[in-house]
Amino acid sequence: MYDLVVLGSGPGGYAAAFRAADLGLNVAMIERHRTLGGVCLNVGCIPSKALLHVAGKILMADEPAHGVQFAKPTINLEAIRHHRQSTVDTLTSNLALMAKGRKVTVFYGEGKFDSTNSITVSKDGSEEKVAFKNAIIAVGSRAIKLPFVPYDDPRILDSTSALQLERIPEHLLILGGGIIGLEMATVYQSLGAKITVAELGEQVMTGADKDLVKVFEQVNKDRMSFLTKTQVTNIEATPEALNVTLKDKDGERQLAVDAVQVAVGRSPNGKTAGISDIGVKLDERGFVLTDDKCQTSVPNIYAIGDVTHGPMLAHKASHQGHTVAEVIAGHKVDFQPLAIPSIAYTFPEVAWVGLTETEAKKQDIPVKTAVFPWSASGRAIASGVTQGKTKLIYDETTDRVLGAGIVGSHAGELLGELTLAIELGATLEDIALTIHAHPSLHETVGLAAELGAGTITDLPNKTAKKA
């Protein structure tokens, strides 16, 4: 009997298994695919970043380089696919080695709970029972399917098939303006596709503040067309084209495209693997209900990652994984983060963490904001990346930083400081008095804080504190 069995080997599952093994527990992990790492490493975060890296190189070659002109890039799709796959292979094979090094037993096959103390793993017609004292459900999520989409048509792409880069369509419609849709829009646009994004909501990248998203839209206005408040209601496949029905306030119209990527969100896998049959409580959408120790309604069973409430992000899952491993090992810990960062790896990147201004307004939280424009940053001007903003959202009375957002080159990397600031309860003054290197893009964080504090000297003195 294992001390712990982890069902699923994504960033949540393997982090939990490895941490538990390091704490001296006897651990097994069950994975239905041939490689470890789940969606994120195999067909999600990691391969998309490999493609976005290439997209960045192509887009950069197109930008004015202040005296240097590059020829039009030559694109070798096979080599790009190879970079994607070798990135995935490096990480997934390292995971298998680390599992071995930690003596975590890996069962490859489809796992299904048959009691609160055992899971049956099925593979190629054979079955094996794995008994456990504790289990962690880390079964993730899957793409939401829309009833009117002709999924059998090869011109319909999902987040997995889009990564294959089988062909570059002339005109690609992105159905859903969330992070997956916009990241793949960026990849395909750089490779030559015309892009139309159809988004039901008021803005693309819901979740980020509008003023930041506006900069992203502005930079991309000649590269992509954004149709917001627009619902895709039907797709008809004909030999010549995919005829997409778009519905907005003016009524319905047709758009003929030669490929559609569907990226309308993900739903949790809670209703699979016999999870509810053993008494684990789910909500109506299939999320497993957990407390702040990630414990489910069955005391020896825990759940982490996309199958639980909260953002569907790998770094949330891995931190939950560590928490549960430590709880099972007897530590007094829980999972109550103040800040879970989000990054859209688009061009430019958009990154945000903690409270947004939109959320503050919705929840009636009294906040102030300080937004430093990158057009006043020496490093941004010298690097030709002035289309950016660094924004702080802070408590009106205490000046404590509650949220932050950045749009611009390397925004995702710059966000780290602000995530730490929020977790440590920093105020504007703490950030403003921290010496940031000059000239640098991260200096914009310090300058935004100085702007809020009224001590800034890198902008006109409208906001200067006189006393």
Residues lying near ligand NAD in the complex (CB under 6 A) are found at 175-181, 183, 198-201, 206, 231-232, 263-266, 311-313, 342-345
> Least distance in Å: CB of 197 to ligand NAD?
9
Selection from 331, 334, 332, 337 nearest residue 20 by Cα: 331
The amino acid at 454:
G
Retrieve residue 25's tokens: 């527990």
3-state SS assignment for residue 351: strand
> Least distance in Å: CB of 101 to ligand NAD?
29
> Least distance in Å: CB of 146 to ligand NAD?
6
Alpha carbon separation from 416 to 2, 183, 386, 423, 462 (Å, rounded) = 37, 20, 20, 11, 29
Provide DSSP, 365-383: --EEEEEEEGGG-HHHHHH
The number of residues making up the chain comes to 467
Beta carbons of 354 and 405 less than 8 angstroms apart: no
**Cβ neighbours around 121 below 10 Å, total:** 21
> Which residue has 């688009």 as its token pair?
346
Beta carbons of 39 and 140 less than 8 angstroms apart: yes
Widest Cα–Cα separation across the chain: 78
What is the spatial distance between Cα 111 and Cα 278, in angstroms, rounded to a whole number?
14
- Strand blocks (E) in 158-269: 171-175, 194-198, 224-227, 231-237, 242-248, 251-257, 259-262, 266-268
Selection from 458, 442, 354, 431 nearest residue 390 by Cα: 442
> Least distance in Å: CB of 47 to ligand NAD?
11
Selection from 58, 31, 46 nearest residue 85 by Cα: 46
> Least distance in Å: CB of 265 to ligand NAD?
3
Q: Cis omega before residue 439 (within 30°)?
A: yes
Verify whether residue 438 is a known catalytic residue: yes
> Least distance in Å: CB of 80 to ligand NAD?
19
Which residue out of 66, 82, 438, 442 is catalytically annotated?
A: 438
> Least distance in Å: CB of 349 to ligand NAD?
9
> Which residue has 């008494």 as its token pair?
279
> Least distance in Å: CB of 39 to ligand NAD?
9
Taking the CA atoms of 212, 340, 297 and 112 in sequence, report the sign of the dihedral they define: positive
Selection from 389, 391, 392, 384 nearest residue 407 by Cα: 389
The amino acid at 310:
G
Q: Cis omega before residue 348 (within 30°)?
A: yes
Report the residue number, 109 or 176, with the smaller CB distance to ligand NAD.
176
Report the residue number, 177 or 446, with the smaller CB distance to ligand NAD.
177
The amino acid at 431:
I
CA angle at residue 61 from 57 to 66, to 5 degrees?
A: 130
Taking the CA atoms of 351, 212, 426 and 338 in sequence, report the sign of the dihedral they define: negative
Beta carbons of 11 and 92 less than 8 angstroms apart: no
Task: Determine which helix (DSSP H) or strand (DSSP E) holds 408, and give its type and residue range.
Answer: strand 401-408
- The set of catalytic residues is 438
